[in-house]
Structure 1
């Protein structure tokens, strides 16, 4: 019997997975680590043919394969398949229902997404800032910058609990290591572009001298400073006219597990 065609949701999952896989390959090449489909298939535990069919939407993903991909790529299962993440969570509850820690022990590629009812999507997409957004940008709110930036999916329950809406949020990939050990290169910060009020000790995305940066704001002796978490970086005074507050960081998603372990 010929295989049934994939649903639109399954094809969308495959497309997101393929994009993440390409990002993984690029990262592996930069680190001079194995990046071929052959190497990936070996790490995943199935053949190159199956790998290619998953990536190209020829065969549907299942929970077991999804978790293997999530572990390989260093992302949450929700990043490419919210539906499989929900399915895996239901299975996880049956295996180890008592705590988030126990759930993620059984399913390392899974993050708990919500306890809400199923009448609304458990994950909500927010726009991702393209990596090439750099000098000369005065704010992430310029719409045309986001056309090719993709999306990050965040739990709807988290949005509701914090009274946030997707249109006021942007996701940006961390560059550099000035915020280590809190945020590592490759991690993703979620920025509330509607919250520009400076707060002593808060972490913000800013345009500083023409460059988009993520820093902690500190107020000392009537002066504002850009502070890093990494002690190898010194505080920088930020004077009026030298910077613009883009928004406050309200969440971050770990992506760089290699440097954390």
Structure 2
């Protein structure tokens, strides 16, 4: 079986790796100046993060071979003593480390004491303990076309995205049923933009009027569209983009909707403003 090709890191992810590498070099220099024996190294950092392959895992993050995810960012921020936003402003939006190290108090006490439930991402108080406060949803290389469709012949999990467990509970979803993929194209604009992150609930695989779904079909591949029930009982696959010359409605009979396998309902999307 052919091994899937690793998805190249984006410019933003490569910049995260460069900033992380700079923090690591800075901490190694400090360790050397203190006369630590041995000097701080990648293996020690990985062991502090409790990774099974400590040196290899740290090396892949430092050299931009694997994209940082929020769980790794939080662990590395404690191991190397930095604020998450200093390394990855994108991943760290809305979070502040609750502790700088096991023996140090939070730098931002106000942030550490706040944990609003109306936002999906962790706040300061959510960082410790990690697993109890938020769920890590697998983030896949697959794309759902807001356009003509994607075949996605090879799909791999490239990272995880963290969501507050309380936020997920309020939305009535089980983290085990969730995946994160990406939108590609402009057919769902302005609701969903090109490159937006899509949180998909795989347990919601039945058609529902007015809801947005990720679907797969033999001829179109994977698409993200809104389903609208027609007056005759069939379904309309509709793009939110008002340019119907470019993105026309697709009318389906009751039987034809079964030819489009619903992967799940889109319950949240995130992207640039």
- Structure with the greater alpha carbon radius of gyration: 2
Between the aligned partners of 2:152 and 2:127, the Cα distance in structure 1 is 44
Task: State the match for 1:62 in structure 2.
Answer: 82
Residues 211 and 265 of structure 2 are in contact (CA less than 8 Å); yes or no, is this contact kept in structure 1? yes
Contiguous gaps of at least 5 residues in structure 2: 1-34, 69-75, 101-105, 145-149
TM-score (norm 2): 0.57
Structure with bigger helix share is 1
**Cα drift, residue 92 of structure 1:** 4.9
Residues 178 and 201 of structure 2 are in contact (CA less than 8 Å); yes or no, is this contact kept in structure 1? yes
Match of 1:225 among 229, 236, 239: 236
Residues 188 and 240 of structure 2 are in contact (CA less than 8 Å); yes or no, is this contact kept in structure 1? yes
* Superposition pairs of residues 132-171 of structure 1, within 5 angstroms: 134-135=150-151, 147-171=156-180
**SS of 1:129 mapped into structure 2:** strand
> How well do the aligned residues superpose, as a CA RMSD in angstroms?
4.1
Residues 204 and 215 of structure 1 are in contact (CA less than 8 Å); yes or no, is this contact kept in structure 2? yes
Task: State the match for 1:193 in structure 2.
Answer: 202
1:77 aligns with 2:92: yes
Match of 2:110 among 94, 115, 120: 94
Contiguous gaps of at least 5 residues in structure 1: 22-55, 105-109, 138-144
TM-score (norm 1): 0.59
**Cα drift, residue 194 of structure 1:** 1.0
How many matched pairs? 197
1:243 aligns with 2:252: no
Task: State the match for 2:28 in structure 1.
Answer: none
**SS of 1:121 mapped into structure 2:** helix
Residues 199 and 266 of structure 2 are in contact (CA less than 8 Å); yes or no, is this contact kept in structure 1? yes
**SS of 1:77 mapped into structure 2:** coil
